[in-house]
Structure 1
Amino acid sequence: MDRKPAAGKPCPSDHTSTRAEARRSRSLPPPEDRDKAEARAQYLALRKEILPESDTQQRQARARHRLYTAVLNGNLTCCKLPSRVDKVLDLGSGIGCWAVEIARKHPEASVTCVDHHPIRLRDAPSNVTFRVADLNRDWPVEPNSLDLIHIRAMSDDVVSWPFILSQALETLRPGGQLEVSKIRPRFWDFNGQFSVTDVLPEGEKMSDELSAKMGVDLDPSASLPMWLDDAGFEKAAQRSEILPVGDWCKDAKLHQRAALYKDLLEISGWEGKSRQLFVSSGWDLPRYTALINSVKESITHGGTDERCRTTRNRK
């Protein structure tokens, strides 16, 4: 998505202040009841306790990066970058897999990584810097300074997408680009053979209900085009890719994606992002563990009966 270039004559000061006030109002989370606000705060606090340098998180981050790179056919971005990129911001960098690669590909660029936790990489290129900050607060970035903002797999850490997009618009240069990508938590059976007791759609339903209860949007894909337009972006585009679950696919590229996605799920399953959601909503660990074990079993073995089960990678 490109930032809309400035055009025309400057607005009068009163109009400018009115527009700024409208932008701030869009950036604020919607009014909500105290219970939902407290539940979401508890959930986000649990998310921040996930240390990116733990062994499991490092393995998960590397597996996710391999999967995204395969989906992008070896590229690092879905958007087409200019030959020269000066300043890049990577939000929610984790252990910095993507940032390190983009920095090596564009040695002329200054790449800034932002995460809740300090990140230490021994082999980081000299053009990479790391900062600790909360993406849900004003970003520590100069206005009109960035060529590219990269956000990956951060939906469950976002309080308000309109706020995130307003920050992106203010910090991007005219013509700068924003790329948001995630694995969408939705499964399809192309043959329509899901049974009413299948754990995958049932797990989705539970996750959706708990997310709505706490005001956490795990699947913002449908609303992002509207929010981007409201924020002032232009040339917004959405790309969807299939991630097969199981070994049913014959196409070489899809087969590679299936193998990489299986690696990622075997490291974390749903547990990487759902444990905090379920536990902060009142589930006890034995009940949650039983659900996750059923999900993992369905993911690992459910695709062998030729059911075309897939999730999708949204960009």
Structure 2
Amino acid sequence: MPSPVAQSPPKAEEAEAVAHQAETTIEVGGSESDTGYESEWASSVSTSVSSSVRDYTFENGRRYHKYSEGRYLFPNDESEQEREDMKHAMVLNLCGGRLHYAPLDNPQSVLDIGTGTGIWAIDFGDEYPSASVLGVDLSPIQPSWVPPNVKFMVDDAESPWIYPINNFDFIHLRHLASSLKDTPALINQAMVNLKPGGWIEMQELYFDLSSDDDSIPEAHAFSKWLTFVRQGLETFGVDLLSPAKTQDRLKDAGFENVTERIFKVPIGTWPKNQTLAKVGLYGQAMCVDGLQGNSMKTFTKGLGWTADEVEVFLVDVRDSFKDRKVHSYLTFRVCYGQKPVGGV
């Protein structure tokens, strides 16, 4: 199953411009208008697909996972799955089609934590046909038809792992900052289960809105929304700004050759660079389409709002995306490190 953009990767020169964008100012364009589940190891905490795992809960018209209910606060229904695949397309455009930055050498055993729709695992399995790729997630929402070297399993990555130690060549995590409650513990666990010389890579959006030209109004509704989301998640023990700590956490866990790359993700099609304008189109759609699903449990259960209060507030948030004079962006942080060849 190819990714939505796999057949039209960015031009090399555009990708190069994107790769160094965190160190440069994004030039604004001249117009303000828009242009098969299987368990490899028996586990008391890992659950193969069964009728109970396929149960869901419903709230405010959205569907949520049932296994480890409440661990993940956001929907897993079809509209959210489409948004997750769109985020994958956005990241591929942003990173010049690359699925990873860790310098892998013929990986044979790969773990994708929080695999979601499984789209990254499927693409990775296609790119590395000799690798065995296992994607784990709380929700059984991945497709049945996948490459023969890709398998999925329902599991809670923050429960004790029972995978063999020194087993994986590569452990990949993406878009999990909004759900992990103890990231250092997960990193330490990854260290145990990686082979000596294996790599971990964490890819996360950093939800703090910025601009290079101070064009974000003080009363910007989307900025307010981000603040409320961070505050709501804090009540559940989740630090949405934790990606800023990843580099130090990998080093503290004993990883070597730790490297961080930071990219700018425009919100809107305002960049002059066409690749970044395309990324910005994805970025804005990612934000707008996720407003209701990302707000409901976070605001009602975390901040004590009513569902009606949330919907009224979201009207202003949606309107804030229509202001083409705002040249805002989030950042996307890629951080990877290597387990010492001699082990730890």
TM class by shorter-chain length?
Answer: 0.7 to 0.9
1:171-250 alignment, distance < 5 Å: 171-250=193-272
Gaps of 5+ in 1: 1-43
Q: Which amino acid aligns with 1:98?
A: W
Cα offset for 1:266? 3.7
Q: Which amino acid aligns with 1:147?
A: D
| Structure-2 residue corresponding to 1:65 | 88
Identity of aligned residues (%): 25
Cα offset for 1:278? 1.3
1:296-311 alignment, distance < 5 Å: 296-299=318-321, 301-302=322-323, 304-305=324-325, 307-311=326-330
The answer to whether structure 1 residue 74 and structure 2 residue 97 are counterparts is yes
Cα offset for 1:202? 2.1
| Structure-2 residue corresponding to 1:283 | 305
After superposition, the C-alpha distances for 1:2-56 in whole angstroms (9 at most, x for unaligned) are: xxxxxxxxxxxxxxxxxxxxxxxxxxxxxxxxxxxxxxxxxx844547564x211
Q: Distance in 2 between matches of 1:103 and 1:195?
A: 44
Runs (4+) of structure 1 exceeding 6 A deviation are: none
Secondary structure at the aligned position of 1:206 is classed as: helix
Task: Give the direction of change, closer, same or farther, for the CA distance of 1:271–1:149 in structure 2 (3 Å limit).
Answer: farther
Q: Which amino acid aligns with 1:311?
A: L
| Structure-2 residue corresponding to 1:312 | 331
- Alignment check: 8 A CA contact 2:116 2:142 kept: no
Q: Distance in 2 between matches of 1:55 and 1:111?
A: 24
The answer to whether structure 1 residue 138 and structure 2 residue 136 are counterparts is no
- Alignment check: 8 A CA contact 1:103 1:110 kept: yes
Deviates more, 1:209-218 or 1:276-285: 209-218
Q: Which amino acid aligns with 2:333?
A: R
Gaps of 5+ in 2: 1-67, 335-344
Secondary structure at the aligned position of 2:210 is classed as: strand
Task: Give the direction of change, closer, same or farther, for the CA distance of 1:273–1:80 in structure 2 (3 Å limit).
Answer: farther
Higher share of residues assigned helix: 1
Q: Distance in 2 between matches of 1:311 and 1:141?
A: 35
Secondary structure at the aligned position of 1:236 is classed as: strand
- Alignment check: 8 A CA contact 2:139 2:154 kept: yes
Deviates more, 1:284-293 or 1:172-181: 284-293
Q: Which amino acid aligns with 1:211?
A: L
What is the count of residue pairs matched by the alignment? 266
Q: Distance in 2 between matches of 1:116 and 1:140?
A: 16
Task: Give the direction of change, closer, same or farther, for the CA distance of 1:265–1:195 in structure 2 (3 Å limit).
Answer: closer
With structure 1 as the length reference, what TM-score do the two structures score? 0.79
Q: Distance in 2 between matches of 1:267 and 1:134?
A: 26
Cα offset for 1:59? 0.7
Q: Which amino acid aligns with 1:264?
A: M
Q: Distance in 1 between matches of 2:124 and 2:136?
A: 15
| Structure-2 residue corresponding to 1:56 | 79
With structure 2 as the length reference, what TM-score do the two structures score? 0.72
After superposition, the C-alpha distances for 1:169-219 in whole angstroms (9 at most, x for unaligned) are: 001111111111121111113222333322133223323333334321112
What is the root-mean-square deviation in Å for CA atoms of aligned residues?
1.9
